[in-house]
Structure 1
Amino acid sequence: MRKPGSVKGLEELGRVRLSPSFFLRDFLHSEIANFHGLPNVPDDPDLAIAAGRRLCADLLEPLQARFGRLSIRSAYRSPEVNRFGNEQGYNCAVNEANYAGHIWDRRDAEGCMGATACIIVNAFIPYYEATGRWEAMAWWVHDHLPYAAMEFFPRYAAFNLTWHERPRRAIRSWIPPRRGMLTKPGMPNQEGRHEAEYGKFLSSLGQQ
């Protein structure tokens, strides 16, 4: 598929179905792009679609099936939008660090495909606001889904969720007072099960 060169072409791209619940259009919104009048359109739609389909099928659909509606906060960024965001201090990493991350239509330095979406699990908000235990969601995903990386933020426990061809399985948080790395390969807590970390959250939903 060619990069859209018209409104009609962009409409057709947005109608591409990535999974039963998600279309590509769901992931193209960007406040940076909207406010500054920048196009947030993939240069390589086929690669963006392929990476997005794995993100949706392997991570977002199972997560939504278990906990209900997900809200997409930020997902695909074109190289132009991401570069501008980095230069303006909008919490965007440099492009090279975001290839196969928020920039779905570029492979990383190792030639791997990947995709990131910043999401909110709506059903998790009451538990998080009552307890502050963002780790409950982190460990549930760690135990159940083939994620590559997660990065948690204070507002509503939104988190970057990444699918990647070579998953590192690392979890980082920017939520005080427990900022830093929760787990990564080589840490003692990387292996085994972690039901004790999310059991109370599941109980709050009437799940086990």
Structure 2
Amino acid sequence: MKSPKTVAALTEIGRVRLSRSFFMRDMLYSEIAQVHGLLNVPDDPDVAIAAGRRLCEELLEPLQDHWGRIAIRSAYRSREVNGFGNRMQKEGKAGYTCASNEANAAAHIWDMRDADGCMGAMACVVVPAFWDAHQGKGDWQIMAEWIDRNLPYSSAWFFPTYWAFNIGWHERPQRRIDSYAEPKGRWRKP
């Protein structure tokens, strides 16, 4: 499949079903792209779709099956969108939290293999029912422990707002969980 350059082609890629509950269209929304008029579409749709399917089938579907509906906050980012977000983050602009394109290869940039040639995909999600039930200090660790015990994840990063977290699938999983929420840093298994 070619990178979409027309409305019809973008519609076609958006209709690609990644798993039982998720379509590629669900993964393409970006506040950065919306505000700055950038096109957030893959240069290599075949790689993005392959990685996205693994993310959705192996991580997001089981997460949703156990905890209830998940909300996608951010998922796929094009090199252009991610690079722009990284530049704004370096300039200290509020709301921009993108790592470099190299660091986000095989993570938020699904169609860019990492330095080792591996494929991966990441999404930032919120689990509303989990937040509703677990708002105590450090309660994000309940979800971290469940993920570690039940999912073939590569990495996860937790945030303080609604216990949102990045969760990533990768061909060579790291099995590492970190947090910007208290207690900050690398999560240690209990």
Q: Distance in 2 between matches of 1:52 and 1:41?
A: 13
User: AA paired with 2:187?
Assistant: L
Q: What is the match of residue 12 of structure 2?
A: 12
Kept in 2, the 8 Å contact 1:128–1:156? The answer is: no
How large is the RMSD of aligned CA atoms in angstroms? 1.0
1:106 maps to 2:112: yes
Structure-2 residue corresponding to 1:179:
184
What is the rounded CA distance, in whole Å, between the counterparts of 2:131 and 2:139 in structure 1? 10
**What amino acid is aligned across from residue 16 of structure 1 in structure 2?**
V
- State whether residues 99 and 106 of structure 1, in contact with CA within 8 Å, keep that contact through their aligned partners in structure 2: yes
Q: CA deviation at 1:127?
A: 2.4
Structure 1: where are the runs of 5+ without partners?
184-188, 195-208
Q: Kindly, what percent of the aligned residue pairs are identical?
A: 60
Q: In the TM superposition, what is the alpha-carbon distance from 1:123 to its structure 2 partner?
A: 1.1
Residue in structure 1 matched with residue 23 of structure 2 by the alignment: 23
Structure 2 unaligned segments of length 5 or more: list them. 90-95
Aligned counterpart, 2:175: 169
Q: Which amino acid aligns with 1:110?
A: D
Runs (4+) off by over 2 Å: none
Max Rg structure: 1
Distance 1:60 1:88 in 2: 29
CA distance in 1, matches of 2:184, 2:111: 30
Aligned residues: 184
Residue by residue over 1:52-77, the C-alpha shift from the partner in whole angstroms, topping out at 9 and shown as x without a partner, is 00001100011111111000000000
For 2:99 and 2:107, how far apart are their aligned partners in 1?
A: 10
**CA distance in 2: counterparts of 1:72 and 1:155, whole angstroms:** 14
Q: What TM-score comes out, normalization by structure 2 length?
A: 0.94
C-alpha distance in structure 1 between counterparts of 2:103 and 2:87, whole Å: 14
Q: Distance in 1 between matches of 2:5 and 2:67?
A: 38
